[in-house]
A and B are shown apart, each in its own frame.
Chain A
């Protein structure tokens, strides 16, 4: 089904009349929808881009970060801008619907006004609308699509695989997909996706002979223009996630391989070459400055919702670098004007997906209902009510992680707790009921085991230093794109500009300094080593126990490190 503007407005009116989810002031909503989603077509080649939806089939809330520090060359540059600096940089009016979509500012009040974001039924309506106004447009999926919800985990990714086929995804690349194991990924590629969705990844090779595991790129004909889509899977999958799940696959950035793939695509006749990337934005920016012949990199992984592309100059010309946020909150729309065999001009817009302004696509809505039905009882279990805002995203502890480390400390009887610096995980407003589904939105992974480890003070410092370097190494190629490990019990200071091994200081526990050779009981979850398989109960069971006992979760203070050398950094606002 495709839709023109009149049909879209009719659907919106029907939705409003039937009292569905629409804004109380329909006239205002209609106006807002028209302003947001009436995007005139430009040029002759259009690509739609979604990324990092983390299996969120239903509308959710997602608060953007107030701490997203840039260090080294990235200081003060996109994506390392937050709040008002962000708005000023992109010329977005404060207080409006777009300011709410792109920043954390006034989050709770604005979320109540504008409602939830994302949801595949609403995204589907927007995709159809864009495809209708842009004949030949393709939908690219940057990965982190099959992981992040209870239903994705319990169906072994099948719900998302089917949803993506229904949504009309044409090409995708990978990251968390690999945590279902190499065999499952290949099974989906060979069976479910055959003839429908191409998986591309030039940087995934076998560990023995470096043979390609996936197609490096595909060439699609859009309105007579050959367009190459080169894939770049998350380079550090076997490091950030368990290597034993893809033991025969090697990843890495593979700059030379990227140049070869781009050159080969051009030699094959491609007039437009784009990269569908899961590198993370800092890595994409560096790659764009060093590899030539790429018109645009459609990026993900770091969950940066960037209203406009960054234009990067390199020896061969210019490359646009975009990043399309997370959790189904945005759809990127790139229009290229291709003339005389090359890109002459472009228009780009990152559209926020406001569920109240986009009527649910009936077919997708029915699919989602069906797929959730067998799990509804488990998903809707009420665990507790939150008094404060719960969110995850940001370089240091968010309130959701604070709750998780507090639960780990209590339930595991530990002195210190660690929780991984994941960037996925949705938000809840004050007064919301925390259901099992919401808890799984923060924790649903294929290696969810909790751990309780005796660690020396020296080892604890090593862990913090190691993760801090993955976040703050001045060379993006040495970063892994997650946030800082979330910490409970332990206080510390962090100097992001310092060298590896020298960033973490003043480590204190209950007012006493951590001693290097003393042993501490440390709780954690998501162990990546194969030996740690089944090390303890799944994290959602541990946290659910804690929440059921609490009944009401009070707003808790965040255990944040004391930052050094970050005064005036536009990547932090308090």
Chain B
């Protein structure tokens, strides 16, 4: 375990992860705030959420992969990562079909950035997780089911 890294980040305190990333110039603060799309985050069904990010009906693509647990260990913090191998990926959104508000996160990627994002999402129940990607002006998607269970009763 890399305890030094853990301690450094803990010591960072209020600065937080985003602050540190900003401090080393990986993300500009305005990038994190500028992209707030109220309609998208308020969308109550998948069609509306897709429409609000301008995706319409995206084609499924095998070039997008979602890394997420098959069964969530803790529905309150489910790690979800998306990698897009589509050339000129400029935008990635993560949507949780069964959440009250579908859009969990969206990322605008400056040109030349590796299309590899990770976040933690909250899930109240078993649901499909969608990764919606805009690449070279067109939208694509893939999905993966993440189960949220009551727990207990194992082997």
State in angstroms the CA–CA spacing of A475 and B70 once bound together: 10
- Which B residues are in CB contact (< 8 Å) with A133? none
Nearest-neighbour CB distance to chain B for A74, whole angstroms, equals 16
Contacts A208-B6, A236-B71, A251-B73 known; A467 to B1 CB distance under 8 Å? no
- Whether a CB of chain B sits under 8 angstroms from the CB of A294 is no
State in angstroms the CA–CA spacing of A466 and B147 once bound together: 10
Contacts A206-B1, A253-B70, A478-B71 known; A500 to B155 CB distance under 8 Å? no
- Whether a CB of chain A sits under 8 angstroms from the CB of B61 is no
Contacts A209-B2, A238-B73, A239-B71 known; A480 to B150 CB distance under 8 Å? no
| Contact status B152-A302, CB under 8 Å | no
| Contact status B73-A480, CB under 8 Å | no
- Which B residues are in CB contact (< 8 Å) with A256? 67
1/0 per residue, CB under 8 A from B, across A438-481: the answer is: 00000000000000000000000011001101100101011011
| Contact status A420-B152, CB under 8 Å | yes
- Whether a CB of chain A sits under 8 angstroms from the CB of B153 is yes
Nearest-neighbour CB distance to chain B for A278, whole angstroms, equals 9
Contacts A236-B71, A466-B149, A478-B70 known; A211 to B2 CB distance under 8 Å? yes
Interface of A is mostly: loop
| Contact status B149-A482, CB under 8 Å | no
| Contact status A250-B73, CB under 8 Å | yes
| Contact status B70-A280, CB under 8 Å | no
Nearest-neighbour CB distance to chain A for B42, whole angstroms, equals 28
Contacts A209-B2, A209-B5, A480-B71 known; A241 to B154 CB distance under 8 Å? yes
Contacts A209-B2, A243-B73, A251-B73 known; A463 to B155 CB distance under 8 Å? no
Nearest-neighbour CB distance to chain B for A540, whole angstroms, equals 18
- Name the contact of B74 in the complex, choosing from A144, A237, A238, A526 (C-beta under 8 A): A238
- Which A residues are in CB contact (< 8 Å) with B153? 240, 420-422, 467, 470, 480, 482, 485, 526
- Whether a CB of chain B sits under 8 angstroms from the CB of A301 is yes
- Which A residues are in CB contact (< 8 Å) with B154? 234, 236-237, 239-241, 420, 470, 480-482
- Whether a CB of chain A sits under 8 angstroms from the CB of B151 is yes
| Contact status B71-A243, CB under 8 Å | no
- Which B residues are in CB contact (< 8 Å) with A529? 151
1/0 per residue, CB under 8 A from B, across A158-189: the answer is: 00000000000000000100000000000000
- Which B residues are in CB contact (< 8 Å) with A238? 73-74
- Which B residues are in CB contact (< 8 Å) with A469? 147, 149
- Which B residues are in CB contact (< 8 Å) with A475? 70
- Whether a CB of chain B sits under 8 angstroms from the CB of A528 is yes
- Which A residues are in CB contact (< 8 Å) with B99? none
- Whether a CB of chain B sits under 8 angstroms from the CB of A115 is no
- Which B residues are in CB contact (< 8 Å) with A536? none
Nearest-neighbour CB distance to chain B for A150, whole angstroms, equals 20
- Whether a CB of chain A sits under 8 angstroms from the CB of B69 is yes
- Which B residues are in CB contact (< 8 Å) with A240? 151-155
Closest residue of chain A to B1 (Cβ to Cβ) is: A211
State in angstroms the CA–CA spacing of A212 and B1 once bound together: 7
Nearest-neighbour CB distance to chain B for A499, whole angstroms, equals 11
- Whether a CB of chain A sits under 8 angstroms from the CB of B126 is yes
- 17 additional A-B pairs beyond A239-B71, A421-B153, beta carbons within 8 Å, are A209-B6, A236-B71, A238-B74, A239-B72, A239-B73, A250-B73, A252-B70, A253-B70, A280-B155, A302-B155, A420-B153, A424-B155, A466-B149, A469-B147, A478-B147, A480-B153, A527-B152
